[in-house]
Amino acid sequence: MSTILTTENLSLYYGKKQALKGVNMSFDEKGITALIGPSGCGKSTFLRCLNRMNDLIPNVTITGEVNFNQSNIYAPTMDTVKLRKEIGMVFQQPNPFPFSIYENVVYGLRLAGVRDKEQLDAAVEKSLKQAAIWDEVKDRLHVNALSLSGGQQQRVCIARVLAVEPDIILLDEATSALDPISSHTIEMTLLNLRHDYTIITVTHNMQQASRISDRTAFFLNGELIEVNDTKQIFMNPVKQETNDYISGRFG
């Protein structure tokens, strides 16, 4: 398997407060990596660094490198719009745009200048199928996406990310606002997508991490404490802090 993304000595400061402390991590193509850790440990901050979402926050300083397919995404020549197409993100709260399901899914393609109706139709069907929501919405593609349930909205958001054919999908607690059944549907969706995409997910739900991820990384106080196969992390972690956190001794 080849490496698709690496971070080298990645640090981030909110003003003077250091939120990430020299994180070195690498991600192979395909599969799911879960980032876990208590609130404020830096896992979401780390995730947001991977497609430069932190650029939007004032007073943030980032040092170190994030190399996507061997090029540093923080290089001045990097086109962030293109970057976020290749490294898409799904957020905690489903955030469909206030227009139709169809228009939500093709949004990124229209932005990229695709006009061909057949091409757009095909992308909508493919993406909604991949996001496991096609059967539920195929007869009402032109209703407002906001009329869907939370779980359905989230899957439309996943379809919206998939439509632009990214290499990497980042999920920031994408199921924590959903009920268990919707969460389960999203988990099943991710388990199918993991064969074709590199998925990195931040979750507070430890059982979810153990159920769906191939690898788990534990963060604490801005540091990457341990990363390993999920089975190893949940059965026999190397570091005491990892053991204490995932068995609920703190956090």
* Strand ranges across the sheet with 215-220: 87-90, 168-172, 198-202, 31-36, 215-220, 223-229
Q: Which of residues 14-53 bind another protein (CB under 8 A)?
A: none
The strand order across the sheet containing 60-68 reads 17-28, 3-14, 60-68, 71-72
Site string for another protein, 185-214 (x = CB under 8 A): ---------------------xx--x----
Shortest distance in whole angstroms from residue 243 CB to another protein: 5
Q: Which is nearer to another protein, 173 or 241 (CB)?
A: 241
**Least separation in angstroms between CB 36 and another protein:** 12
**Angstrom distance (rounded) from CA 230 to CA 214:** 6
The residue count of the chain comes to: 251
In whole angstroms, give the CA distance from residue 202 to residue 208. 10
Interface with another protein includes 228 (CB under 8 A)? no
- 250 binding another protein? (CB under 8 A): yes
Q: What angle do CA 26, 44, 177 make, to 5 degrees?
A: 125
Stretch that binds another protein, among 2-10, 152-160, 176-184, 235-243 (CB under 8 A): 235-243
Closer CB to another protein, residue 173 or residue 226?
Answer: 226
> Site residues (CB under 8 A) for another protein?
206-207, 210, 234-237, 243, 246-250
